[in-house]
Protein backbone atom coordinates (compact mmCIF):
# COMPACT_ATOMS: atom_id res chain seq x y z
CA UNK A 1 0.00 0.00 0.00
CA UNK A 2 2.95 2.33 0.19
CA UNK A 3 2.59 3.12 3.90
CA UNK A 4 5.55 3.34 6.24
CA UNK A 5 5.57 1.20 9.36
CA UNK A 6 5.14 4.34 11.46
CA UNK A 7 2.06 5.33 9.43
CA UNK A 8 0.55 1.88 9.92
CA UNK A 9 1.32 2.02 13.65
CA UNK A 10 -0.35 5.43 13.90
CA UNK A 11 -3.47 4.14 12.16
CA UNK A 12 -3.51 1.22 14.58
CA UNK A 13 -3.09 3.62 17.52
CA UNK A 14 -0.07 1.71 18.77
CA UNK A 15 3.56 2.58 19.28
CA UNK A 16 5.93 2.33 16.36
CA UNK A 17 8.12 -0.03 18.44
CA UNK A 18 5.24 -2.42 19.10
CA UNK A 19 4.31 -2.57 15.41
CA UNK A 20 7.99 -2.99 14.46
CA UNK A 21 8.14 -6.04 16.74
CA UNK A 22 5.31 -7.61 14.73
CA UNK A 23 6.96 -6.74 11.41
CA UNK A 24 10.33 -8.17 12.52
CA UNK A 25 8.56 -11.26 13.90
CA UNK A 26 9.98 -10.55 17.36
CA UNK A 27 6.50 -10.93 18.86
CA UNK A 28 3.18 -12.11 17.49
CA UNK A 29 -0.01 -10.06 17.68
CA UNK A 30 -3.12 -11.50 19.30
CA UNK A 31 -6.02 -12.30 16.97
CA UNK A 32 -7.79 -8.96 17.51
CA UNK A 33 -4.61 -7.02 16.75
CA UNK A 34 -3.95 -9.17 13.68
CA UNK A 35 -7.43 -8.43 12.32
CA UNK A 36 -6.93 -4.69 12.95
CA UNK A 37 -3.61 -4.81 11.08
CA UNK A 38 -5.37 -6.56 8.18
CA UNK A 39 -8.10 -3.90 8.12
CA UNK A 40 -5.54 -1.08 7.95
CA UNK A 41 -3.50 -2.84 5.27
CA UNK A 42 -6.62 -3.97 3.38
CA UNK A 43 -5.50 -7.57 3.34
CA UNK A 44 -6.31 -10.89 4.98
CA UNK A 45 -4.67 -12.86 7.78
CA UNK A 46 -3.84 -15.58 5.23
CA UNK A 47 -1.87 -13.10 3.15
CA UNK A 48 -0.03 -11.64 6.15
CA UNK A 49 0.79 -15.10 7.50
CA UNK A 50 2.06 -16.21 4.10
CA UNK A 51 -0.52 -18.92 3.39
CA UNK A 52 -2.39 -17.07 0.62
CA UNK A 53 -1.64 -17.47 -3.04
CA UNK A 54 0.20 -14.69 -4.85
CA UNK A 55 -1.68 -11.45 -5.27
CA UNK A 56 -1.48 -9.43 -8.48
CA UNK A 57 0.39 -6.15 -8.22
CA UNK A 58 -2.14 -3.32 -8.26
CA UNK A 59 -1.67 -0.22 -10.38
CA UNK A 60 -0.89 3.14 -8.77
CA UNK A 61 -4.52 4.29 -8.73
CA UNK A 62 -5.56 1.13 -6.90
CA UNK A 63 -2.76 1.53 -4.37
CA UNK A 64 -3.74 5.14 -3.69
CA UNK A 65 -7.40 4.18 -3.38
CA UNK A 66 -6.51 1.43 -0.92
CA UNK A 67 -4.46 3.87 1.15
CA UNK A 68 -7.41 6.24 1.33
CA UNK A 69 -9.80 3.42 2.27
CA UNK A 70 -7.44 2.20 4.98
CA UNK A 71 -7.15 5.68 6.46
CA UNK A 72 -10.91 6.22 6.40
CA UNK A 73 -11.58 2.86 8.06
CA UNK A 74 -9.97 4.04 11.31
CA UNK A 75 -11.35 7.61 11.45
CA UNK A 76 -13.92 8.86 13.92
CA UNK A 77 -17.03 10.70 12.71
CA UNK A 78 -15.50 14.17 13.11
CA UNK A 79 -12.50 13.29 10.96
CA UNK A 80 -14.74 11.56 8.40
CA UNK A 81 -16.74 14.77 8.01
CA UNK A 82 -13.58 16.81 7.58
CA UNK A 83 -12.19 14.32 5.09
CA UNK A 84 -15.43 14.31 3.09
CA UNK A 85 -15.20 18.10 2.84
CA UNK A 86 -11.59 17.97 1.66
CA UNK A 87 -12.46 15.31 -0.92
CA UNK A 88 -15.38 17.43 -2.14
CA UNK A 89 -13.03 20.38 -2.63
CA UNK A 90 -10.46 18.26 -4.46
CA UNK A 91 -13.08 16.63 -6.67
CA UNK A 92 -14.54 19.98 -7.76
CA UNK A 93 -11.25 21.50 -8.84
CA UNK A 94 -10.37 23.27 -5.59
CA UNK A 95 -13.57 25.32 -5.44
CA UNK A 96 -15.09 25.84 -2.02
CA UNK A 97 -18.07 23.56 -1.39
CA UNK A 98 -21.49 25.23 -1.44
CA UNK A 99 -22.67 23.32 1.64
CA UNK A 100 -21.18 22.68 5.06
CA UNK A 101 -18.88 19.74 5.70
CA UNK A 102 -21.45 18.09 7.94
CA UNK A 103 -24.40 18.48 5.57
CA UNK A 104 -25.98 15.45 3.98
CA UNK A 105 -25.07 14.93 0.31
CA UNK A 106 -27.64 15.93 -2.32
Pairwise pLDDT comparison (95 vs 12), residue with the higher score: 12
- How much is the pLDDT for 32? 93
Running DSSP on this structure, what letter comes out for residue 46? Answer: H
CATH number, domain containing residue 42: 1.10.260.40
Model confidence pTM above 0.85: no
**Are residues 91 and 84 in contact, defined by beta-carbon separation less than 8 angstroms?**
no
Residue 37 lies in a domain: yes
Q: Residue 29: pLDDT above 90?
A: yes
Q: Is residue 101 one of the residues assigned to a domain?
A: no
Domain assignment present for 83: no
Structural domain containing residue 41: 5-57
Domain membership flag for residue 74 = no
pLDDT at 78: 93
Q: Does 66 map to a domain?
A: no
For the chain, the domain total comes to 1
* The pLDDT value given to residue 34: 93
- CA 92/CA 96 separation, integer angstroms: 8
Residues 48-88 have pLDDT tens digits of: 888 866 555 667 778 888 888 888 888 999 999 999 888 88
Note whether residue 68 is domain-resident.
no
Is 35 a domain residue? yes
Amino acid sequence: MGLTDSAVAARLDMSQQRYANYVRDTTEPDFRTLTRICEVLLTTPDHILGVASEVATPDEASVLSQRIQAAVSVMNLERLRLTAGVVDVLATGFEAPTRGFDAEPD
